[in-house]
Structure 1
Amino acid sequence: MSNTNTFARPYAKAAFEYAATASKEDAWSTMLSFSATAVEQAEVVKQLGKPELSKEGKVEFLLQLCKDNTDDEFANFLHQLGENNRLGLLPAISEQFSEYKAEKNRTLEVEVESAFELSAEQLQTLAAALSKRLDRTVKPKAIVNSALIGGLHIRAGDLVIDGSIRGKLNKLAEALKS
């Protein structure tokens, strides 16, 4: 996994720098996401893994799949990836590209786990408080997890806030063990 991220990083950075310069960040994000999803499909993996298919043939196959969702610059990017046998890195490149984009836009996707479904108003209030604390625009993603019993478990990048009853019970159990 770390090797994948290490190999993907220069491509993601180059793609982001190009897209930012050309003011095409959203378009490139969409194209990367689409092509990354394509290369993860079982049939596509099987086709791209055929040894009799040349590097150029693999790129052309992928471009055929994505023909309505790519432009000439992105096609050149795919050719570069194919030439270096890096088409399999597209999911990691897409993920890192999204991180670069979020950093530039100062946005952060936050997972909010709760035992029960939160209302839109509750999510909005929580997002406003987190935005103020993290100094970023927060996009909450609500997840219902009945195992929490009650409270919230918030994951924002490296920051984890465990205000769940399950978390408090686990801390109490640890304190009693020591």
Structure 2
Amino acid sequence: MAADIYTLARPYAEAVFDMAGDDEARGQWSNALAALAAIVDNDDVAAVMASPMVSDAALADAIVGLGGADFGEQQGNFVRLLIENDRLVAAPAIAELFEARRAAAENRLDVEVTSAKSLTKKQQGALTKALETRFSRDVSLSFVEDDSIIGGLVIRAGDLVIDGSLTAQLARMRQRLAQ
């Protein structure tokens, strides 16, 4: 099903990206799509979306109202279009695909780094520089702490995952010893 949702979302993300045009408009759309994704992911909103008692117009008005300042006229019309085409559930995937396309256009790569404990500023800077060299692009890092990896790093850059965690190393060692 996950692949299906991306198949549904891709044309919408592409159309919004093409329509946005310049960096300022892309930033506005980025904020709007992130807000829409968060709204759609909310359990209470999901219940309203699934209710046959709520009209499309009422649902659109509610979502646009929740989006507040992040939604201008175009974004409100986009929400209505998604509802009309029964694609509102694809909003998080649309936002993700839009961001990937935006990052590629800006020659930027969004990278998530997971570590057992927070990295120092010096470590973050060295990691940023190394990843920019490796990928030949500007790198935008976000950091997540997860003590279950014990040590090391897990780096996610698009489809690429580099798992240098101690947990993964122990699992590989266990697998080799079991042979």
Report if aligned partners of 1:55, 1:85 keep a CA contact under 8 Å in 2. no
Structure 2 unaligned segments of length 5 or more: list them.
Answer: none
Deviation at 1:70, TM superposition (A): 1.1
- 1:5 paired residue number: 6
- 2:143 paired residue number: 142
Report if aligned partners of 2:17, 2:98 keep a CA contact under 8 Å in 1. yes
Are the structure 2 counterparts of residues 167 and 51 from structure 1 closer, same or farther at C-alpha, using a change threshold of 3 Å?
closer
- 1:50 paired residue number: 51
Deviation at 1:22, TM superposition (A): 8.0
Report if aligned partners of 2:28, 2:70 keep a CA contact under 8 Å in 1. no
Matches within 5 A, 1:156-167: 156-167=157-168
Structure 2 Cα separation of the partners of residues 168 and 42 of structure 1:
37
Structure 1 unaligned segments of length 5 or more: list them.
Answer: none
Partner SS for 2:52? coil
Partner SS for 2:140? strand
Q: How many residues were matched structurally? A: 178
Partner SS for 2:86? coil
Deviation at 1:26, TM superposition (A): 0.3
Are the structure 2 counterparts of residues 79 and 131 from structure 1 closer, same or farther at C-alpha, using a change threshold of 3 Å?
same
Measured against aligned partners, the alpha-carbon deviations of 1:97-148 in whole angstroms (never above 9, x if no partner) come to 1111111112222222333321011111111011011111112223333344
Measured against aligned partners, the alpha-carbon deviations of 1:16-63 in whole angstroms (never above 9, x if no partner) come to 111125850000010111122112222222222221322223212222
RMSD: 2.1
TM-score normalised per structure 1: 0.87
AA at the equivalent of 1:106: N
Pair member with larger Rg: 1
Measured against aligned partners, the alpha-carbon deviations of 1:50-103 in whole angstroms (never above 9, x if no partner) come to 213222232122222224321111122122112112222211111111111111
